[in-house]
């Protein structure tokens, strides 16, 4: 078998050996026909790969759909999104495969560092890979096109995963999860496990909107807002706390790391795992989330058991506003204690956050289409939520009734108008 490096690829003995091992272990159309094998090198991240065709019956034996970002670490979990085997697109794919359609550009990495019986770690086209394996059951076995990467490092692997999925409906949560592990390791996950947001051995969801768990974006936002609030609190006297509009922050999601989060993680890193104030804030927030969840679940006659009501605390604006105020009040123990208390429930307010009332809320300055308090991640909504929690911290016996919510929002609108530029 002849293995050549393409003219733009820097020759590498290690890569050549690995490619030889791959073509020896896995039968391809190219090796069967005695065609020369070409090794390419990516111009952006310098990764090496080759292109070949493998029979579905052979590929299916070696394919691993549980590819990991950190190949040598047992703490690294499956990185790809969950397979959507009932999705219409997949069903069409499967039907086509069973009728003999040939697929191309299935992206794999040849990696024998874990699950050595399945060295073809799929990074792009996991649904196609699954579909061609299924088609074998229909007696259809044909060659499919593969792009096989060799000896990827963690950063190259993440990028391969990202670029292989940009044309698909891969959620930002999946990208976040991959980038988080690549850039910062497991610190965020460990922090969430320590607080209780995630169970031991549990990972962030690949599609936050479908799950009822904290996502990477939410966990990052919580930490960023805690520190932003903490910094702001150091610059404001206690008696001035209620004269400001606060601007909590939503961590960006997707193919790049949010700048604020990046800054904080470079400054704090693993220290967040032992930051007492932050851990306490996380635990108190989790208590609020659980209380909200339970109250909605057990009160179907008083409040609709909707996911958006159960998980009201995990709505971006609510989580950001709450965590910002937790940071802000670190130097004001009395108000911090009040902030950490679960809002009172009454016969008319069945859940602590009064999710239904919030969703019907509208200030005179809002357009008729406004969808309620704590429903959007706009700056206006997050400022209002922060004010709701700040106002709540004034007393230890607060209930989120309509009057209270109205007063809190009035304060934001009033302060903004005083400073001019309300939009």
Residues near other proteins, by CB under 8 A: 242-243, 362, 364-365, 367-368, 402, 406-407, 410-411, 413-415, 417-418, 420-423
Residue ranges in 235-306 assigned as alpha helix (H): 259-268, 276-298
d(C-alpha 55, C-alpha 365), whole Å:
64
* CB of 364 closer than 8 Å to CB of 266: no
Residues facing residue 5 across a β-bridge: 39
CA distances from residue 183 to 74, 103, 154, 179 in whole angstroms, order as listed: 17, 33, 9, 6
Least separation in angstroms between CB 361 and other proteins: 10
Select 369 or 397, whichever has its Cβ closest to other proteins: 369
Bridge partners of 51, per DSSP, are 147
Q: Minimum distance between the CB of residue 405 and other proteins, rounded to whole angstroms?
A: 11
Taking the least distance from each CB to other proteins, the nearer of 241 and 336 is: 241
Q: Pick from 384, 265, 382, 393: which is nearest to 328 by CA? A: 393
Shortest distance, position 414 Cβ to other proteins, whole Å: 4
Nearest distance from C-beta of residue 239 to other proteins, angstroms: 9
Q: Are 22 and 51 in contact (CB under 8 A)?
A: no
Tell me the chain's radius of gyration from C-alpha atoms: 26
Nearest approach in angstroms of CB 367 to other proteins is: 5
Least Å distance, CB 156 to other proteins, is 49
What gap in Å lies between CA 310 and CA 299, rounded to an integer? 11
Give, in order, the Cα–Cα distances in Å from 117 to each of 41, 61, 163.
26, 8, 26
To other proteins, the closest distance from the beta carbon of 41 in angstroms equals 56
Whether residue 386 contacts residue 321, with contact meaning beta carbons closer than 8 Å, is answered with yes
Q: Nearer Cβ to other proteins, position 122 or 405?
A: 405
Q: Could you identify the residue written with the tokens 């996502």?
A: 215
Which of residues 328 and 413 has its CB atom nearest to other proteins in the complex? 413
Measured from the CB atom, the residue of 308 and 410 that comes closer to other proteins is 410
User: Cα dist. 402→19, 305, 350, 355 in Å?
Assistant: 67, 20, 13, 11
88 vs 235 by CB, closer to other proteins: 235
Residue 177's SS3 state is helix
């Amino acid at each position: 078998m002849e293995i050549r490096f393409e003219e733009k690829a820097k020759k590498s003995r290690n890569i050549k050996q690995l490619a030889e091992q791959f073509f020896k272990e896995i039968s391809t159309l190219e090796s069967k026909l005695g065609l020369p094998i070409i090794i390419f090198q990516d111009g952006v991240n310098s990764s090496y790969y080759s292109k070949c065709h493998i029979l579905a019956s052979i590929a299916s034996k070696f394919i691993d759909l549980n590819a990991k970002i950190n190949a040598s670490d047992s703490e690294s979990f499956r990185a790809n999104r969950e397979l959507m085997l009932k999705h219409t697109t997949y069903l069409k794919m499967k039907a086509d495969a069973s009728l003999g359609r040939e697929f191309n550009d299935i992206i794999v990495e040849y990696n024998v560092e874990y699950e050595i019986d399945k060295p073809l770690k799929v990074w792009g086209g996991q649904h196609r890979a699954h579909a061609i394996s299924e088609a074998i059951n229909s007696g259809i076995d044909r060659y499919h096109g593969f792009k096989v990467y060799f000896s990827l490092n963690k950063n190259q692997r993440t990028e391969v995963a990202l670029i292989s999925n940009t044309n698909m409906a891969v959620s930002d949560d999946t990208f976040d999860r991959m980038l988080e592990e690549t850039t910062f390791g497991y610190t965020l996950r460990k922090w969430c496990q320590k607080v209780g947001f995630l169970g031991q051995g549990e990972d962030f969801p690949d599609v936050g909107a479908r799950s009822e768990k904290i996502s990477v974006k939410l966990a990052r936002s919580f930490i960023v807002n805690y520190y932003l609030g903490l910094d702001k609190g150091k610059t404001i006297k206690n008696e001035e706390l209620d004269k400001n509009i606060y601007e909590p922050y939503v961590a960006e999601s997707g193919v790049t790391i949010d700048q604020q989060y990046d800054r904080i993680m470079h400054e704090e890193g693993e220290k967040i795992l032992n930051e007492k104030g932050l851990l306490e804030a996380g635990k108190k927030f989790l208590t609020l989330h659980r209380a909200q969840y339970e109250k909605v679940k057990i009160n179907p006659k008083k409040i609709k058991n909707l996911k958006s009501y159960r998980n009201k605390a995990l709505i971006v604006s609510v989580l950001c506003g709450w965590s910002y105020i937790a940071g802000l009040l670190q130097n004001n123990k009395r108000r911090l204690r009040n902030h950490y208390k679960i809002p009172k429930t009454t016969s008319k307010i069945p859940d602590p956050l009064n999710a239904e009332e919030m969703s019907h809320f509208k200030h005179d300055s809002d357009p008729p289409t406004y969808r309620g308090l704590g429903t959007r991640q706009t700056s206006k909504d997050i400022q209002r939520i922060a004010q709701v929690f700040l106002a709540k911290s004034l007393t230890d016996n607060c209930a989120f009734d309509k009057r209270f919510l109205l007063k809190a929002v009035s304060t934001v609108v009033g302060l903004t108008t005083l400073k001019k530029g309300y939009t």
